Amino acid sequence: MKAPVLRTLVFLPIAYGAFSSFFDAGLILSYRLHFTKIAEFFGSFTPGDDYRRFIPVFDATPSWAIGLSLVAGLLYLASLWPLLRARRELFPIFTAAVAVDLIHYAVLRSNPAYAELMGSGHLHMEYVLDGFLLVGCGIAWWVTRPPQNRRYAALQS
């Protein structure tokens, strides 16, 4: 796994997943803990630049779903270490992070307030981003598996 292109292709979904997970949890926690300045900062990166329209979603999101988001973010960060060290443990850790993240988003999507607020266009975009994470899993699997073909062995070692 010495090829920088392959490392970058694996790094991008890891970075996106970590940012997304910590952003979701940070925004909800800052609202629930009444840290308004932090909530306004996070809210400035949302569509419409205001977090207050998400308050019904924040109130309806169970606390354990926030925990899922934090666990997914930590697993994404943990998958950086095998990526940097070119270790074969990358695939299971990254796959676990994606699985926890997909469960988290399934919980959010099942929330009627979330579906009403976001609309179908945003939900379709989330499916595309979930596909991006799954493609990242496939690349991580291909990069970390033992070389099967001598032509590709230089890319994978």
pLDDT at residue 8 in the model = 79
Q: What are the tens digits of pLDDT across the range 70-117?
A: 999 999 999 888 888 777 778 888 889 989 988 888 888 888 887 777
Residue with the larger pLDDT of the pair 33 and 156: 33
Q: What are the tens digits of pLDDT across the range 53-70?
A: 888 888 888 889 999 999
Closest-CA residue to 138 (of 85, 84, 98, 103): 98
pLDDT at residue 66 in the model = 92
Instruction: Label residue 44 exposed, middle or buried (CB < 10 Å: 0-12, 13-18, 19+).
Output: exposed
Percent of the chain as helix, strand, coil, to the nearest 5: 85, 0, 15
pLDDT at residue 149 in the model = 63
Q: Which two tokens stand for residue 34?
A: 């009444």
Does this model's pTM top 0.75? My answer is yes
- Give me the amino acid identity at 115: A
Question: Where residue 156 falls among pLDDT bands split at 50, 70, 90?
Answer: low
